[in-house]
Structure 1
Amino acid sequence: MNLESFRDRLESLRDSELFRYVQRCVCMSLAHAGEPHAESHDLLDLVYAECARRGKERLYDKAYERVCKEPDVCKGLLA
C-alpha cells in the first residue's frame, strides 16, 4: 500500500470512519505483532497522527480500548 495515498485518504474521512480505521489498523498491527517491520505498524502510526492532527487523540484511545476489550471485533474488521 502506498503510505502517502493512505495518509491523504485519512484526511478526508469523517470521525466515525476514522474510528473504524483505527480499530482495523490496531487489529492488523496486533496480528503482525511478531513482525516489527510490518506495514501495519506504519499504518497504525499514520492513523494516530491523523487523530492527533484533528485534536482527537481520545478517538484513537477509545478505538484501541474497544479492540483490547472485545478482540472479536477484529474478526469482522479483517474479514
Structure 2
Amino acid sequence: MKPRYENKCKVTCTDNDKTVTADVMSYNPKNMLMIILGESKIGMKWNGRSIYVGNALGMEFTSKGPEEIVTLKGRGYA
C-alpha cells in the first residue's frame, strides 16, 4: 500500500524562531517538500539529517515534513 501524508506541516523560520502551519503542495519523502506559506510557494530540499531546508523572502525555513497517515488493514481492523 502506498503511504499517505497529511496535507499540512509545521514550518519554522530560523531567522526569528517562529513556527507556523503551512499547506503541503507536493511531497517526495527524503527528497523535496513544496509548501504554500501565506501567498508564497517555498521549495524545500532534504538535507540528509531529518529536516527539509528552503529559502524564500530573504529568510530560511525548516520543516520535518508532513506526518504519515497510518491506515491499518486486514483481519481485526475496520
TM-score between both structures, scaled by the size of structure 1: 0.24
Q: Quick check: which has more Rg, 1 or 2?
A: 2
Q: Higher helix proportion, which one?
A: 1
TM-score between both structures, scaled by the size of structure 2: 0.24
Q: Higher strand proportion, which one?
A: 2
